Amino acid sequence: MTDRLTLHLVDPPPAPPPAVRRAPLRWRPLLSALLLAGFYALPWLRWEGRQALLFDLTARRFDLFGWTLWPQDVGILLGLAAVLATTLVLLTNLAGRVWCGHACPQTLWSRLFRWIEQAAAHCLPAAPARAAKHLLWLLVAAWTGITFVGFFSPIHGLVGTPWPPAWSGWETFWILFYAAATWGNAGFLREHVCRELCPYARVHGVFCDSDTPRMHYHARRGEPRGPRVAGLGGVQARGRGLLDPTSASDYAFRAAHEDIAGPMPHFSADRLGDCLDCGDCVTVCPMALDVRAGPHADCIGCGDCQDACDARMRAWQFPTGLIRRASPSAMQQRPPRWIRPRTLAAASTLLALLGIGLHYL
Contact 320, 314 (CB under 8 A): yes
Contact 265, 247 (CB under 8 A): no
Q: How many residues does the chain have?
A: 361
Q: Please return the burial class of 321, using the count of CB atoms within 10 Å of its CB with bins 0-12, 13-18 and 19+.
A: middle
DSSP string, 12-48: PPPPPPTTT------HHHHHHHHHHHHHHHGGG-EET
Return d(Cα 323, Cα 303) in angstroms, integer: 9
- The pLDDT of residue 12: 52
- The pLDDT of residue 25: 53
What pTM did the predictor assign?
A: 0.87
- The pLDDT of residue 243: 93
Return d(Cα 61, Cα 54) in angstroms, integer: 8
pLDDT tens digits for the chain (361 residues)? 434 334 444 445 544 444 334 445 578 889 999 999 999 999 999 998 899 999 988 888 999 998 999 988 888 889 999 999 999 999 999 999 999 999 999 999 999 999 999 999 999 999 999 999 999 999 999 999 999 999 999 998 899 777 777 888 999 999 999 999 999 999 999 999 999 999 999 999 999 999 999 999 999 999 999 998 878 889 998 888 999 999 999 999 999 888 887 778 888 888 999 999 999 999 999 999 999 998 888 999 999 999 999 999 999 889 999 999 999 999 888 999 989 999 999 999 999 999 998 888 7
Reduced 3-state DSSP string for 253-280: HHHHCHHHHCCCCCCCHHHCCCCCCCCH
* Pairing mode of beta strands 53-56, 50-51: unpaired
